[in-house]
Every structure is written in C-alpha cells, then in structure tokens.
A = this chain, B = another copy of it.
Amino acid sequence: VVCQSCEARHKGVCGGLESAELSYLAKNTSKKAYRRGEEILAAGEKLDRYSNILSGVVKLVKLLPDGRQQIVGLQFAPDFVGQLFADTSNISAEAATDVRLCTFPRQVLESLAEQSPAMEHRLLQQTLRGLDDARDWMLTLGRKTAKEKVASFLMLISAYSDPERKEFETPFTIDLPLKRGDIADYLSLTVETVCRQLTNLRKAKIIDVPNRQHIIVLDLVRLRALAEQTEIVDV
C-alpha cells in the first residue's frame, strides 16, 4: 500500500491512523510534482484538495492589491498544506523549490477527521505549531532590524536543515531554499537590503557566501546572538 511505506507518514498528520483508515486514504491519494515557482494553490480559488509535502519547500503568500506581498509562512516536509474547513483559500501557495506533494480530496480528510480523534488531534497539534510559528515571526517582522531579521532567517534555515546541530559544529553549509526576492518578502525587506545585510555578515566573518544558493556559517554563536538579541554584537 502507498501510505504504509510513505516517507512523510510518521511525522505527518496521517501518522495516527489505523491500517483500515490508512488503506482508505491510500486509495484516494495521488502524488504531484511542481517546479520551483509554480503555483500550487491560488488565493480565492475553490478549495477541494489537501496535501502533505513529501519533499521541498512551499511558501504561503499574501498580496496587497497594489502588488506588495508578504510570505506568511514556509512549509517543509512533512507539513500539511491547505486551509482546513475553509471554502476558499485567502492565501496562495507556491513552490519555493521543486516540490512533491501527496494530495487527496477534501472530503476524504474531513471524513477521516470525523471518524478518527487521533487524526483530528494531529491536525490540531499542527495548527497550534503553525500559530506559534506565526506569532514568533510577528515579533521578528515588527520589532527587529534588517540585520537581526536576516540573522533570524539564517537561524531558521539552519535549524531546519539540522535540528540537532550543536554550536561547536562550525563551520557548516546551509542550502538556501529561497531566492533573494523571497527572503525579502519573508522578512518584509527589499532585495537590496537583504543583499547588503548578507554582505555585512560576510565582512564581519559570521558567514561566508560561496555562491547564490549556499551560505557557510562560520560563527553560530554570534549569528544566534544577533537573531535573538541576547547580547550586543558589532557588525
């Protein structure tokens, strides 16, 4: 069965299902691939499918009528994508990298959630984590300087790429899933400011930038101090 061997299963929302439920889900799923930049879900679109991310990074984007935009969340595997119980999405979802999804009709998930308290509980847990992340990020957006924002972003990606990493394990390389423009939209900055702050961090020997997609973190202690503002750091 598809779901039994699913790479995303144990940490995803389907992790709590019985095997009967799992085979029901398996019958109704399909895998889809998107290239970097493709739109997965348009704002205002009728919402009839949900998905789990198998691999890649999905950005959730909000738009102002005049074109200003803000990335309000990044979703990594095995996160869930789609606004539960909403008829239409008020957010658009776009592939930030190449992405593979496991999608299923809306009704399948909603009926499973009704039958299985474990499933609903997992959805609640995931939503709570999303709310927590969103609120953390509001502090970053609202009250940090450009320098602190870029440091915060690098810490976020570092944590995602290796949650177990220790401070003394430097230097290490991280792979940026976002283009400069996306980073700017995530941090509420402009592309130019993001570039300048990366340059500043490079000159301060906190990071190195060997090429567009990669960052080498040289001094994790100072990077974290900048991001969390636990002490004053000259840059």
Contact = CB atoms under 8 A, between A and B. Distances in A.
Interface of A: 60, 62, 64-66, 68-70, 72-73, 83-86, 90-91, 114, 117, 120-121, 123-125, 127-128, 130-132, 134-139, 141-144, 188, 228-230
A65 B139 contact: no
B139 A138 contact: no
A143 B64 contact: yes
Q: Please tell me how many copies of the chain the complex holds.
A: 2
Given A64-B143, A70-B138, A141-B141, A131 B127 contact: yes
Nearest to A69: B143
A70 B140 CA distance: 9
Contacts of A132: 83, 90
A17 to B, nearest CB: 16
A151 to B, nearest CB: 13
Nearest to A68: B143
Given A120-B117, A124-B124, A131-B127, A138 B136 contact: no
Contact of A70 (B66, B121, B139): B139
B229 A65 contact: yes
Contacts of A91: 135
A139 B229 contact: no
Contact of A138 (B120, B130, B134): B134
A137 B90 CA distance: 13
Nearest to A117: B117
Contacts of A144: 64, 68
A65 to B, nearest CB: 6
A139 B62 contact: yes
A135 B64 contact: no
Contacts of A131: 127, 130-131, 134
8 contacts: A64-B143, A64-B144, A65-B230, A84-B124, A91-B135, A114-B117, A141-B141, A141-B188
Given A62-B139, A64-B144, A70-B138, 17 more contacts: A64-B139, A64-B143, A65-B229, A68-B229, A69-B143, A70-B143, A72-B135, A83-B132, A84-B128, A85-B125, A85-B128, A86-B128, A120-B121, A120-B124, A124-B127, A127-B131, A142-B188
